[in-house]
Amino acid sequence: MVIDCKHVWDAISSYIDDSLAPETRELVQKHLDHCNICSAVLDSTRNILILTGDDRVFELPTGFSERLHARLDEQIRALRPSQDA
Amino acid sequence: MTTATPNPEELTRIQAILAGHHDQFHDLIRPYERTVFAMALAMLKNEADAEEATQEAFLKAYRGLAAFRAESRFGTWLASIALNEARSILRRRNQFPTDSIDSSDDEQPGISPALLRDWREIPSESLERAEVRSILRAAIDNLPVLYREIFLLRDLEELSVNECASTLNITVSAAKVRLHRARMLLQKELAPQLKHLNPKRRWFPWS
């Protein structure tokens, strides 16, 4: 059985997560081996997910961590006043 | 690929906190600060609100630590608290109803990806360029909230698809469909823009 490009695009996300059924994966793999367009779709998606999933895309505001831990400290002290002793 | 197995060091630390060593909570959450903030920012698109949501999420996690069930990972539990915090801010802003008009995702036709003949890999070092970060952020911001949520849980927080499904209270197959669409939308939006970025671009044409 041969599958066309559209079927491969529908399987890209599960292919990346390695969650395709073995027989589907084999069909997709065979297609990818000879189709430059689908290989480029796969490579670009994978690459884009690595970049967009990187938490450095979102910059932490200056002093973020200090403010967070200071607020946590307040909470800890408020709930456990005996800890201050 | 992530697993659902709790991290033994974290479990020991959690037990210590519950036994009275409350200050250890600071160390427990340090590895998660950045991703929780990133998720809140991607959901809320506003730095001040995202910082508030992150602080609230960690405070809730601290107060509710005794309710943490060790059969899930601490990070998964935290991601779900953070997601709920961001959602409640969205609801308060009254943005949620407008944003979720596109909620009937199951009838939408498939999304065709951007077609290319080849792809030259863009390395993670390119994130040092503000221009690249801003292109990526705009694409994430433009995802409908339904797709943004699953993308953030799976590809930023690195939850498994099953963990995403249970966090969002949807079936695993619905989670897979949403995730696929989220990823295809990102590819469609970003591939044409990123294709023109040459990581090895030289600053001087003669060098």
A20-40 CB burial, b ≥16 within 10 A, e <16: beeeeeebbeebbeeeeebbb
pLDDT at position B8, please? 87
**Residue B33 and residue A41: Cβ atoms within 8 Å?**
no
Residue B69 banded pLDDT, cuts 50, 70, 90: confident
B184 and B155, same structural domain? yes
Range of the structural domain that residue A43 is part of: 5-84
What is the C-alpha to C-alpha distance for residues B193 and B187, in angstroms, rounded to an integer?
10
| Number of domains forming the structure of chain B | 2
Mean pLDDT of all residues in B66-83? 90
* The dihedral sign for the CA sequence B87, B91, B95, B101: positive
State phi, psi for B99 to the nearest 5 degrees: -70, -30
Q: Is residue B116 part of a domain?
A: no
**Does residue A51 belong to the interface with chain B, where contact is any CB pair within 8 Å?**
yes
> Which pLDDT value is given to residue B109?
66
- On whether residue B203 sits in a domain, the answer given is no
Cβ <8 Å between B121 and A47:
yes
Probe site for chain B from A68, A71, A75 (most B CB atoms < 10 A): A68
Nearest residue to B17 via CA among B56, B53, B68, B52? B68
Say yes or no for a CB contact (<8 Å) between A52 and B151.
Answer: yes
Q: What gap in Å lies between CA B158 and CA A49, rounded to an integer? A: 11
Buried b (16+ CB within 10 A) or exposed e, B148-174: bbbbbbbbbbbbbbebbbbbbebeeee
Which whole number is the average pLDDT over B116-127?
92
pLDDT of residue B79: 94
Burial class (CB in 10 A: 0-12, 13-18, 19+), A63: exposed
Chain A partners of B47 at a C-beta cutoff of 8 Å?
Answer: 61
Which helix (H) or strand (E) segment holds residue B165: the answer is helix B161-168
Domains contained in chain A, number: 1
Instruction: Copy the structure tokens of residue B46.
Output: 């506003």
The CATH number assigned to the domain holding B37 equals: 1.10.1740.10
Region of B87 (left: φ > 0; alpha: ψ -120 to 50; beta: rest) is: alpha
> Cα–chain-centroid distance for residue A77?
37
Could you report the predicted ipTM of this complex, rounded to two decimals?
A: 0.89
Residues B128 and B96 in one domain: no
Sign of the alpha-carbon torsion through B156, B158, B160, B163: negative
Task: Identify all chain A residues contacting B155, using CB atoms and an 8 Å cutoff.
Answer: 49, 52-53
Q: Is B63 found in the same domain as B17?
A: yes
Residues of B in contact with A49 (CB under 8 A): 155, 183, 186
Q: Considering only alpha carbons, which residue of chain B is nearest residue A59?
A: B38
> What pTM does this model have?
0.87
What number is the average pLDDT over the span A4-13? 94
Contact between B14 and B27 (Cβ < 8 Å): no
Q: Tell whether B76 and B17 lie within a shared domain.
A: yes
Give the domain range for residue B181. Answer: 121-198
Q: How high does pLDDT run on average in chain B?
A: 87
pLDDT at A85 over 50: no
Residue B194 belongs to some domain of the structure: yes
Contact between B114 and A58 using a beta-carbon 8 Å cutoff: no
Query: What pLDDT sits at residue B71?
Result: 78
pLDDT in tens, A38-66: 999 999 999 999 999 998 999 899 999 99
Q: Does A70 touch chain B (CB under 8 A)?
A: no
What is the distance in angstroms between the Cα of A78 and the nearest Cα belonging to chain B?
A: 11
Q: Say yes or no to pLDDT of B103 above 90.
A: no
The answer to the question of residue B16 being in a domain is: yes
Contact map slice: A 14-33 vs B, CB within 8 A: 14, 16-19
Question: Does the pLDDT value for residue B201 go beyond 70?
Answer: no
Residue B166: closest CA among B105, B77, B89: B77
